[in-house]
Amino acid sequence: MHTRLSAKMVLGNHRSLVFFWVVLFCLCLEFGTAIDTITPSELVKDPETLSSNNGLFTLGFFSPKNSTNRYVGIWYLSDSNILWVANRNQPLKFNSSGIVTISRDGNLVVLNSENNTIWSSYVTYIASNSTAQLSDTGNLVLLDGNTGEVMWESFKHPTNVYIPNMKLSRNRITGEEVSFTSWKSTSDPSIGYFSCSLERLSAPELFLWVNGTQPYYRSGPWNGEIFIGFRPLTTGYLKGCNVSDEDDGTVYFSCDSTDQYDFRTVALSPEGLFETASWKNKKKISSDVFHGTNCNQYGVCGAFGSCDWQTSPVCSCLSGYQPKNLEEWNKKNWTSGCVRKVPLQCGSGEVRRDGFLKLEKMKVPDYLQKSASLENECTAQCLQNCSCVAYAYDTGIGCMSWFGDLIDTQKFSDGGLDLYIRIPPSELEKHSGKRTVIIAVAVSTIGVITLAICAYLSWKWTTKPTARKRKRDAIFWFNRDESTAVDRNGKKIGEQSEVELHEQLLFDTETLALATNNFDSSNKLGQGGFGPVYKGKLKDGREIAIKRLSKASGQGLEEFMNEVVVISKLQHRNLVRLLGCCREGEEKMLIYEYMLNKSLDTFIFGPPEHKLLDWGKRFSIIEGIARGLLYLHRDSRLRIIHRDLKASNILLDEDLNPKISDFGLAKIFGGRGDEANTSRVVGTYGYMAPEYAMEGIVSEKSDVFSFGVLVLEIVSGRKNTSFYNNEQFRSLVRFVWKVWNEDNIVSTIDQSICEPVNEKDIVRCVHIGLLCVQESARHRPNMATVISMLNSEIVNLPSPRQPAYIEKPDICNSLSSEECHPSHSNNIVSITDIQGR
């Protein structure tokens, strides 16, 4: 009896154990399906999250930086990589607990703490037992509970980020589109000012819009591999992308992941810039911002105008055309465009026929009409139609023709297409005549060059050893304390410790002594921490400025060599030009082009000179400095941070054009990185960005901060340092911020330029200056955006945040008394004012 009872008990225990495991297994299954799924009985409540099956994507609640509002979003790996936002225009307040669930009508909804719907998928016909699932591609889909059909998906309602497998689209029949729109600011995901969509469906292009109606940028048509209006630098990011045309009339643009990356994104920033990021093995391996040139703005040069960012001015009329409004054109207001000088002959009965002029490496105009004709048929096809004004050909597109105004034409340095514009016979003859002259000159030149080469080889054979020794002396040796930099193509720069200069860049002390009357004090232009600067005149009549390294200076050798390396590789109309250098024994000198009007500080701070700069000249100076910085940061072969931008380092030529000078402290930036750390903090107090002065973090935004201070100085006519003895303000930045918040900004404007007609533009510049000196580097605009702001391409400026106050007393607390001292730069020279230990 006892044995049987025990057997029953054992059997009962086994049944209980089996039942337990079955229940646990079912619970695990239910839990497993709930990892990436929301059902009518399951919800996600702040701060809970929902993860995709592969664990890469998360749906949850987040707050943007510097905001307490709560939003429902999808992110990749961490909530610093937000891909999509549900309630972007209806945030949850900080103390309001949000819920994501399936509503009674089957829609995916976000509810606040009062159970009010603040966002919904708004599907009209759907089963009440629908489910939402976060897929392994990052797409949030709403599935009909009865059929499993996808009724709604986040990929068709993007916010500001494009990711692989998402499709930008437009239906040519219904007009229905999938596009994405920028955030209003980095702390506000609501709908911003910029949007990106697919347009011109016969030859699809990507368009960037301002306020949804005004074209801001276009990519040029797709040719099966790239958008042909992209600059060559950006075309590599189109690998894995394609444009397809479906039977229902929908045109799609989509990109797949590639072997090079596991995941990549393209975000549209609040400033209208494309920001890319890529990950490999769950690590971010690259990030970049596509800073356009000032030619990127749609139609900046008007009808029949062409833009070339490497020339000044950037706009010119196409051959055979002239400015429609010459007065406005000369003021750099090019919107009225150009008109023909001479009418076309087509249809006039003239015997002589129109012809075509070939323009190479062009971004083709907007509003093209294409045909499947062969390349050799394009010319005849255009000539047969008197309304045809230009044509081009691409193997992936075919013949492209234009029948109206040529809008948004741009000259590239590389890439682009050959554009053939129609011109009358008289214009065609002018260009034919030019070609004849060019050929004759070329033949003559070849003969002269041949003789010159022979003479040179003869001289080289008989040259004395001292000449060869002088050439060997052209190699300068020094060690850089910074890490090796690379140029934009990934080529290493500065990895060797020698700098080789051409002989024509080398001057001897005898020549320079003769040019300055033995460095007579009457020729002295100024004095700085580096040493004195002299005016000189060479035998050929050229006037020069000579910066002479002081023998008593404890600093300067590295700055001297750094400036030789940096500025010898740069060329821009807003950068001072290095003519050469001299290093003989203990003498170290740099030779520059002479600037007749000396430096900017002489004009804006010194009466009566400041009255010579009216607002038009001051704005032109601000714009020129901005273009020079953009060249250093983005457009030069090297990527350079100046680190000592201030009024005394801006020289003015005879036409008062600004030239950025003094590259002794400049840093060559490596690769595609955005910032770097340095243990050697150098610069001028009052102009140094806080993250640089306090933490040694240097980036483009360091120069942007200095530029902002400089803008405020130019507008006010007051030095930033002139407030140091004022206990209330202590800096110009503090003072401007106070009157800005009091809506009394006019009180800061230099009275010599404060006229009602200029007031609006001046206040806008103050606004831009304050945006540049914001405390957080990521809130400051880059120089490309600054130029767009200055040119009013960006109409609505964001509100400035609290500026940074990095002033002499703040920095001196952490430095010794010997390290904290101002340098006195009267004219061209400035060197380290503060150097951290």
Q: Is 617 exposed, middle or buried (0-12, 13-18, 19+ CB in 10 A)?
A: middle
Answer yes or no: are the C-beta atoms of 815 and 688 closer than 8 Å: no
Residue 640: enclosing H or E segment and its boundaries? strand 639-641
Cα torsion 745, 747, 750, 752: sign: positive
Answer yes or no: are the C-beta atoms of 52 and 36 closer than 8 Å: yes
Q: In what order do the strands lie in the sheet with 177-178?
A: 177-178, 167-171, 250-255, 241-245
List phi, psi (to 5°) of 729: -115, -50
Q: Is 179 helix (H, G, I), strand (E, B) or coil?
A: coil
Dist CA 477 CA 496 (whole Å): 9
Catalytic one of 144, 354, 644, 662: 644
List phi, psi (to 5°) of 317: -80, 145
Tell me the residue ranges of DSSP E strands in 272-340: 274-280, 283-290, 305-307, 315-317, 321-323, 338-340
Cβ partners under 8 Å of residue 30, min gap 6? none
- Residue closest to 482 by CA, chosen among 717, 343, 676: 676
Tell me the residue ranges of DSSP E strands in 459-617: 475-477, 485-486, 492-493, 498-500, 524-527, 532-537, 543-548, 578-584, 587-593
Residue 244: enclosing H or E segment and its boundaries? strand 241-245
> 């047969």: which residue's tokens?
384
Task: Classify strands 305-307 and 409-411 as parallel, antiparallel or unpaired.
Answer: parallel
> 């001028």: which residue's tokens?
684
Cβ partners under 8 Å of residue 745, min gap 6? 736, 739, 763, 766
- According to DSSP, residue 631 is labeled I
Angle, vertex CA 346, rays to CA 345 and CA 349, nearest 5: 75
Q: Which two tokens stand for residue 100?
A: 């994501």
Dist CA 155 CA 138 (whole Å): 8
- C-alpha of 569 from chain center: 21
Cα torsion 708, 709, 713, 714: sign: negative
- C-alpha of 339 from chain center: 33
Q: Is 609 exposed, middle or buried (0-12, 13-18, 19+ CB in 10 A)?
A: middle
- Residue closest to 324 by CA, chosen among 335, 337, 315: 337
Dist CA 773 CA 780 (whole Å): 7
> 């003895």: which residue's tokens?
725
Instruction: Give the max Cα distance, the chain.
Output: 129
Question: Strand pairing partners for 82?
Answer: 75
> 């004009």: which residue's tokens?
603
Peptide bond into 47 cis (omega under 30): yes
Q: Is 416 helix (H, G, I), strand (E, B) or coil?
A: coil
List phi, psi (to 5°) of 452: -65, -40
List phi, psi (to 5°) of 137: -100, -5
List phi, psi (to 5°) of 357: -105, 130
487: number of Cβ within 10 Å:
17
- C-alpha of 235 from chain center: 16
Q: Answer yes or no: 644 catalytic.
A: yes
Active-site amino acid positions:
644
